[in-house]
Amino acid sequence: MDTEHVNYGLSAASAEEKTPIEETPNPLPRAVLRLSTTMLLDGEWRFALDAHDAGLRECWYLGRDYEHVATWPGSVEMHLAEARGQSDPARWHDQVVAWYEREFTLPEQGEPASQSMYQLTFGACGYETRVWLNGRQLRTVEGEDVHYGEYTSFSFELHADLLRPVNRLTVRVADTMDAETPRGKQESHVYKRGGIWYQTYTGAVRSVWLELVERNRLRSRVGVVSLVEDRLVRFNLTTRIHDPGQYTLRLQVFDRHHGPDTGAEPLASSDFPLRLEAGQKQQRVVLEVPEAELWSPEAPNLYRLVAQLIDHDGYAAQIEARFGLRKIEARGRYVYLNNQPIYLDGILYQPGTATFEEIQRHFHAMRELGCNLVRVHIAGVDPRIYQLADELGLLLWVEVPSPHTSTPRSRQNHYAELQRMLALLETHPSIVIWSLYNEDWGAQDIASNPATRRYIIDTYHYMHIEHPQFLVVDNDGWQHVSWEGRLKSDLLTAHLYTPALDRWRELLDQLIAGQMEGVAAFPLVVGDPFFFRHQVPLIVSEWGGFGFPDYGGPQDAAARTEQIRQFKHELRQRPIAGDVYTQATNIEDERNGLIDPHTGALSVPAGLLNSRVTPEPPQDPPLPAV
């Protein structure tokens, strides 16, 4: 890699931690790379609890004495506990407001300074975040004075008139138990901590970093849609322009291990002339990669995209991303990957507060169990989890963290969260399924409220038009929406929990026979009548849970292993397209995991969940020699 490239003009002060890209492929929680180095602002911050929400009135951002220190990233619950001298995370029951502050030395800016600017990025923080630099409030690149959401990244451009040699960064974080905000399985005013509802984990949960970016550039988001039959790839890129004019968008595709820095020739390349105005714009372009091999769990083939935005002087602002060509379809009773039927051997995964190192162990263990699908359950997670799945060849089923009540405002918040997630996750071939809701959390009136069903139908149609690379589930588990007899879900999913094998067989038979009531906890379909005739794949998207008292089943590992084998056998005897076992690791009160949450060790035999491979029949032992 050419380290003399002007994008390498950011040099960190000795007191800061610098993360060169050439040494660590992607240390930051994002999918797209830049040629710049980054200055992490993680570490010790000053911290104060604003118990009476007085900080805005009293202008704390202009300067104050902070009573405590806190380590960023980390949850506000742990920071509150540490400030109180407690070892366990502190619980709050209505509202929490906390302030963080630190100084950083401005790194030297390389030439040409006229073409670059500093950008500050929060990997995630929330639910409500305000940021000040030297007492001046910042606005996000999207123009927000207040950023809402706690699961995805957001950025601020730092203009020269705001910067000093030493800068003071102030952050106010606020959250409530508001049931109208996307919460996933964190407790709220509606669902209290205990059982399947977890303690909140909010606030400063991802890294913060400073980097030098071009004034006119491609943003760190790349959408990928493959047309595998023709080896065509549609790339959706986002431009950010301060100086209107004529630009050239240049795309080059390389083998994953090679690129322009190695002197390799691209596998495909094309230029696209663009006239760009000031502001932000999405642009879709298509590139043919005729010799590309497809991505699948058996062969997770990845390629390297180098995208450059070149101005009229020939200056190139560059980003890179890994991508793969793959196609997912729900056709008749089966799911097809790259035009081949595939059975989904899935497992439910709730990483909770696991570190990325622990998540890596979990993913390797899930693959060792024989899974080809991981359902990342209704949570915001470190985005590197998706890259890991790309590399390992694990299919992912992701879900929007749900609100806990159904109102016009909760639907508005839900849609905004979906948009934030999609903007950053479209790159990954591993992501194949999206759930809008789970078990009607946040859509409890789905059976009785036409407005709730209309929102789900409209969002389902939107996903099909704008994001055709995904399968979409409207409300996973039960109460799918039918409109004029058409299911507004690509999969008919059911959550079936019973520890009794005979009852399990009965439920599966009722499911495949098209019985819509009495199978799951609620009717499988709401709206107008839907008549199942094997025209949509059936997925048992939650089952098992053996070891969790609410679901029954054995505590003993050997008995659990045998029960899982028996239940999986029954699934594969029927025209079912896939299943998702509950679950990968223990989390809080749910003690039903098959993987040690810290070490990644299995408590059951490897390959237990792999029903795609028929085991060889046992061989008779050789006769003794005579």
Give whole-number Cα distances, 153 to 61, 236, 354, 534, 571, in Å.
22, 19, 19, 41, 40
Report whether pLDDT(188) > 50: yes
**The predicted structure's pLDDT at residue 114:** 76
Average pLDDT, the chain: 92
* Superfamily in which the 32-214 domain is placed by CATH: Galactose-binding domain-like (2.60.120.260)
Which tens digits make up the pLDDT trace of 277-333?
Answer: 999 999 999 999 998 999 999 999 999 999 999 999 999 999 999 999 999 999 999
Which tens digits make up the pLDDT trace of 40-65?
Answer: 999 999 999 999 999 999 999 999 99
**The predicted structure's pLDDT at residue 101:** 98
**The predicted structure's pLDDT at residue 361:** 97
Query: Whole-angstrom Cα distance, residue 548 to residue 452?
Result: 32
Confidence band of 614 (pLDDT split at 50, 70, 90)? low
Q: How many residues does the chain have?
A: 626
**Strand pairing partners for 11?**
108
**The predicted structure's pLDDT at residue 248:** 98
Report whether pLDDT(12) > 50: no
DSSP assignment of 308-348:
EEE-TT--EEEEEEEE----EEEETTEEEETTEEE-EEEEE
Structure tokens at 375: 């359902």
Confidence band of 26 (pLDDT split at 50, 70, 90)? low
What are all long-range contacts of 499-503, with beta carbons under 8 Å and residues at least 24 apart? 499/546, 499/551, 499/552, 499/553, 499/554, 499/563, 500/552, 501/563, 501/566, 501/567, 501/570
What is the rounded average pLDDT of the residues 528-550?
Answer: 94
Report whether pLDDT(20) > 80: no
Which tens digits make up the pLDDT trace of 362-415?
Answer: 999 999 999 999 999 998 889 999 999 999 999 999 999 999 999 999 999 999
Write down the CATH number for the domain with range 328-595: 3.20.20.80
Which tens digits make up the pLDDT trace of 486-534?
Answer: 999 999 999 999 999 999 999 999 999 999 999 999 999 999 999 999 9
Degrees, nearest 5: CA angle 596-600-604: 65
Give whole-number Cα distances, 598 to 53, 352, 355, in Å.
37, 12, 9
Which tens digits make up the pLDDT trace of 447-462?
Answer: 999 999 999 999 999 9
**The predicted structure's pLDDT at residue 112:** 64
Query: Whole-angstrom Cα distance, residue 184 to residue 399?
Result: 9
Report whether pLDDT(619) > 80: no
Which tens digits make up the pLDDT trace of 191-216?
Answer: 999 999 999 999 999 999 999 999 99
Report whether pLDDT(430) > 50: yes
Query: Whole-angstrom Cα distance, residue 352 to residue 595?
Result: 14
Which tens digits make up the pLDDT trace of 157-175?
Answer: 999 999 999 999 999 999 9
Report whether pLDDT(466) > 80: yes
- Is 545 in contact with 497 (CB distance < 8 Å)? yes
| Domain boundaries, given as residue ranges, for the chain | 32-214, 217-324, 328-595
Report whether pLDDT(24) > 80: no
Which tens digits make up the pLDDT trace of 553-594?
Answer: 887 889 999 999 999 999 999 999 999 999 999 999 999 999
**The predicted structure's pLDDT at residue 29:** 79
CATH 3.90.950.20 is the classification of domain 217-324: no
